[in-house]
Amino acid sequence: MIEKFLNDLLSQLGAGSKEVVYLSVTPGVGLELIQVDPVIKSVKVYGHKPLEYSDSMREIANYDDFKTVLQELFTDLNISPKCNIVLNLPMVHFGKVELPLLLNDEGVTEAVISEVEQAYIFKRCEPVISWFEGSSSTASDTRTIFYSAVQKPAVDKIKEILTELGATLSGVEISLVSALRALSFAGLTDVQMQDGTPWNLMIVNASGYNLVSLSGKNIIDYYEEPLALKTYELDEIYDVINTSAQIALMNFPSNYLYVVSETDLVSAEHLVSKMQFEGKVDFLENNSFRKREILPVSLNILPDQVMKISLESVGIAVSKSYNYPIKLDFSGNQSSEMSSSGEETFSFHFNDKEIVLTETVMKKISFVIAGVLIIPALVAMLMLPVVQKKNQAKLDEINSKIKTVDTEIQKLTEQASASGNFVVKTEIENVIKYNRTKLIAYSALGESVPSDLWITYFMAKEAGKIDIKGVSESVEDIYIFFKNVKDYLFDNQLRIYKLEMPSASIDDVVDADTPTSYLFEITNMSESEVTSSSKKTNNTNTNADDKDGKANSAAKSSNDSKAIAPSTRKVNDLTPVDIGEN
């Protein structure tokens, strides 16, 4: 989705974009086409076709076959030939030279060309060179230059073929750099490539072996030993390589050795088992002896193709997305070129696509970015006074309400101060405490009344004042009830204020048929408070009796002449029950 949006946007702005395809000419495998997802480190597209490579001439044996094989790969993998190609070639020539520190880049190039032309392979054809700087020494006023070269006619022929197919050659690299990048990207040499760690890389091919001395990811020395391995018997090959390598490794002391075999003539595992090296030795089979894949692969890649994926093809496939300190390019392309209209161009890579921007397109993009950034800022500046005015009106309204509330609070405070008898906080605490005491008292009554005891009167007043009256057939039940209530209301200083029989004569009690009853009163009020409460209760009962008429008066007289018999009613059946004043 993002890629489609970007392509549409660039297309509308007039920018060009092409898919980037990576090729590797790999002896023993042929021509490989590959694309790698650098985020999940997985091969997403791969295919290969046999292609003959001349070890003696160090180039593709037949360029017509190269064209045919490449067309077949485009067809098989459903890739448009109108793409940008990044190519890996087997290393033709690699060397090191010490040059004066003050020599500029142009002088370095001339000196490197002079060195390259001494090689036999470039005595008959013009070279294309690329170089990078190694370590430099201020003490000796020299700089170490590592250089490499390939045949210019070979590069020109490949460019010509790609142009005929509609493709563009955007980069050419050699196998040594591609292999180092792949080892780093795949995490095969994480221990060795730590900064400042000396180690040696030994690459065995059909023409001999190369010994590269490194410090972390940087090359510090190089040695090449040509060996005609095809002229030896199978067992002799390992002895020849081992004998030669033991002498060469004496000049490259380190604690790590990593062996890569790129020829089916030599098994890296078997070679390592024969070598005597005082340090950690590891290996990679980059040939038919391979038992494991270099990177995970997509499910759309056939199983018989997986073990053919070479180290160099992985390295070239991540050359644009993975940063490795060593870079060599033999394509002659620069990051800034001229378009067909004569404008200077700039290119970059995004998700296996190369985006080419001209001066005109970059100006358009600049205008778009400026519009995205400036227009919202202008709109915000224009809207700011309106928003500010609206917010100011809300603020004024809020301030007015705050002022009104403050005035009311001040007024109430003054009134409270003037009266001197009303404190809001104190009154609230008293109400809460009073209601809590009443609730606890109700709970005590509900939980503490014995079976043969009746409550005839209950009152709970402010400040925790409680008055309970009742009747019981047993003094023991009265005591039990008093103790239970006191446990509930432990901080109210309750006491048994009254305990008496209802009759004035002992004879009445003796002659009565009903069980003896005892009247009791439990309270924490003072004598005067109890008396006042009793008078108030009696007045209430008298008024109620007057309204009931003669029938109630007769009943009352009858009751007064007899001892009070224990009632069968509980608290809810008896009256009055005064719950006190609020």
Contact assessment for residue 216 and residue 194, using Cβ atoms and an 8 Å cutoff = yes
Instruction: Say yes or no: 78 and 202 in one domain.
Output: no
Beta-carbon contacts of residue 419 (< 8 Å; ≥ 6 apart): none
Instruction: Say yes or no: 167 and 79 in one domain.
Output: yes
In a domain, 9, yes or no: no
In 3D, which of 357, 339, 338, 360 has the Cα closest to residue 347? 357
Give CA–CA dist 469/415, Å, rounded. Answer: 42
In a domain, 410, yes or no: no
Contact assessment for residue 26 and residue 312, using Cβ atoms and an 8 Å cutoff = yes
pLDDT at residue 35, as a whole number? 95
Contact assessment for residue 37 and residue 28, using Cβ atoms and an 8 Å cutoff = no
Q: Are strands 16-26 and 353-358 parallel, antiparallel or unpaired?
A: antiparallel
Instruction: Say yes or no: 160 and 55 in one domain.
Output: yes
Q: Lowest-confidence range among 159-163, 350-354, 472-476, 553-557?
A: 553-557
| Whether the predicted pLDDT of 7 surpasses 60 | no
pLDDT at residue 532, as a whole number? 75
Instruction: Say yes or no: 33 and 145 in one domain.
Output: yes
Residue-range definition of the domain harbouring residue 199 = 193-292
Instruction: Say yes or no: 101 and 159 in one domain.
Output: yes
Instruction: Say yes or no: 266 and 282 in one domain.
Output: yes
Beta-carbon contacts of residue 266 (< 8 Å; ≥ 6 apart): 204, 229, 237, 238, 241, 287
In a domain, 406, yes or no: no
Tally of helices (H runs) and strands (E runs) in the chain = 15, 22
Instruction: Say yes or no: 133 and 215 in one domain.
Output: no
In a domain, 10, yes or no: no
Q: What is the pLDDT of residues 207-224, one digit of tens each?
A: 899 999 999 999 999 999
Instruction: Say yes or no: 441 and 323 in one domain.
Output: no
Total-model pTM: 0.60
Q: What is the dihedral of CA 46, 51, 55, 58, to 10 degrees?
A: -80
Q: What is the pLDDT of residues 61-98, one digit of tens each?
A: 999 999 999 999 999 999 999 999 999 999 999 999 99
Burial class of residue 403 (count of CB atoms within 10 Å of its CB; 0-12, 13-18, 19+): exposed
Other CB atoms within 10 A of residue 341 CB:
9
208 Ramachandran zone, left/alpha/beta (phi>0; psi -120 to 50): left
Give CA–CA dist 260/270, Å, rounded. Answer: 12
H runs (alpha helix) in 322-358: none
In a domain, 94, yes or no: yes
Q: How far is CA 59 from CA 63, 73, 443, in A?
A: 10, 20, 106
CA dihedral sign, ordered 471, 475, 480, 485:
positive
Q: Which CATH number fits the domain that encloses residue 154?
A: 3.30.420.40
| Whether the predicted pLDDT of 286 surpasses 50 | yes
pLDDT at residue 577, as a whole number? 40
Query: What angle, rounded to 10 degrees, do the helices at 424-448 and 475-488 form?
Result: 140
44 sits in which H/E element: strand 42-49
Instruction: Say yes or no: 238 and 302 in one domain.
Output: no
Other CB atoms within 10 A of residue 226 CB:
9
In a domain, 35, yes or no: yes
What band does 464 get if pLDDT is binned at 50, 70 and 90?
confident
Overall number of domains in the chain: 3
In a domain, 365, yes or no: no
Instruction: Say yes or no: 94 and 135 in one domain.
Output: yes
Phi/psi at 516 (nearest 5 deg)?
A: -70, 135
| Whether the predicted pLDDT of 408 surpasses 60 | yes
257 sits in which H/E element: strand 256-261
Q: What is the pLDDT of residues 313-358, one digit of tens each?
A: 999 999 999 999 999 999 876 444 444 444 454 454 545 555 555 5
Peptide bond before residue 576 is cis, with ω within 30 degrees of 0 = yes
Other CB atoms within 10 A of residue 471 CB:
20
Q: Decide which of 238, 269, 292 is a domain's last residue.
A: 292
Instruction: Say yes or no: 312 and 220 in one domain.
Output: no
Q: Decide which of 283, 317, 333 is a domain's last residue.
A: 333
Q: What is the pLDDT of residues 96-151, one digit of tens each?
A: 999 998 889 999 999 999 999 999 899 889 999 999 998 665 667 888 999 999 99
Burial class of residue 530 (count of CB atoms within 10 Å of its CB; 0-12, 13-18, 19+): middle
Instruction: Say yes or no: 22 and 79 in one domain.
Output: yes
In a domain, 340, yes or no: no
Give CA–CA dist 353/22, Å, rounded. Answer: 11
